[in-house]
Amino acid sequence: MARRPRTVLVERVDGAPEVPLPARATEGSACFDLAAAEAVDLERGRVTLVRTGLRMRCPPGTFLEVRPRSGLGSRGVLMANAPGTIDRDYSGEVRVPLTYLFEGRYRIEVGDRIGQVRLVEDLPAAFRPGRVSPLASRNGGFGSTGR
């Protein structure tokens, strides 16, 4: 049974060029592409907050997660702080923190796809002190499975 889509409100920031609203590239895509609202040159080792020209508000009980695009990663463009979280009470412009790994510069043009956004259910949680018994022998940290 198909679930009804949840509505995320999107507002264009005054003065920003009109870029496409977040959209899935294909019907099977898990995330919605975000486009750049400015042209910038990414430099090696420097994080640049690239504007999307959009503000977003998700429905109660959810938040938005910004993720990198694998196509950019294969060209040396990485998203710092990935995945990024857009809390429901954040009302500013969404910006994507990008950096470049190689020598020289990488040019981002207005309308280029620079990240992806995903609506995530915000499950309630309560944290309380207690004894945590190991369920398996995986307590050695990163790579604890030996794989």
What share of the chain in percent tops pLDDT 90?
A: 80
Q: What is the pLDDT of residues 112-133, one digit of tens each?
A: 999 999 999 999 999 999 998 8
Report pLDDT digits (tens) over 72-107. Answer: 999 999 999 999 999 999 999 999 999 999 999 999
In angstroms, the CA 118 to CA 137 distance is 34
Q: Any bridge partners for residue 10, and if so which?
A: 56
Q: What is the mean pLDDT of residues 136-145?
A: 59
Mean pLDDT taken over the chain:
91
| All domains in the chain, ordered by first residue | 29-121 (2.70.40.10)
pLDDT at 2: 72
Q: What is the torsional sign of CA 11, 97, 114, 65? A: negative
User: pLDDT > 70: what percent of the chain?
Assistant: 91
- Judged on CB neighbours under 10 Å (0-12, 13-18, 19+), 108 is buried
